[in-house]
Structure 1
Amino acid sequence: MKFERRDILLIVGLLLFMVGLLPFMAPIYAALVVIAMYFGIKIYVGRRKKSIEMDVGEGLCAECGSKIFNKRCPHCDSQNE
């Protein structure tokens, strides 16, 4: 989990969420909830990004949208031959 520029927006949003939780619970519990949400979101996004990278592979064909293997599209190249 590396820190990216968009994490600043996540942190600001979670801090505002924590301020909204303060009337309903103690500050330490609100902070714990926000910290758990931060790491939960980071883990979810990391796993999702990894699964998308595995699905895409080397890239997608611009014509048919299938996965590219060995720098060639299996569908479009077989039709051209």
Structure 2
Amino acid sequence: MKFERRDIVLILGIFLVVLGITQYVPFHYSALIGILLYFGIKLYVEKRHQSITNSIGDGLCIDCGSRIIANKCSKCDYSQE
């Protein structure tokens, strides 16, 4: 997990959530909840990014949008042969 510029927005949002729930629970519990939220969201986004990267493969066909395998589209190239 690397730090990206958009993580600043995530940190600010979680900080506001932590401030909001400190009214109901002590600060150290709300800080722990905020830290768990941050790493949970980061882990989810990283796994989602990996699954999308794996499903794309070599790329996407411009005509039909299907996955390109071995520099050939599975739909367009086989229909022309």
TM-score, with structure 1 as normaliser: 0.94
| Deviation sequence 1:15-61 (CA, Å, 0-9, x none) | 01011011101000000000000000000110011001111111111
Structure 1: runs of 5 or more not aligned: none
Counterpart residue type for residue 17 of structure 1: V
Divergent runs of 4+, >2 A: none
Q: CA deviation at 1:74?
A: 2.1
Structure 2: runs of 5 or more not aligned: none
Partner-residue secondary structure (3-state), 1:61? coil
CA RMSD of aligned residues (A): 0.8
Number of paired residues?
81
* Identical pairs, percent: 48
Which has a greater percent of strand?
A: 2
1:21 paired to 2:24: no
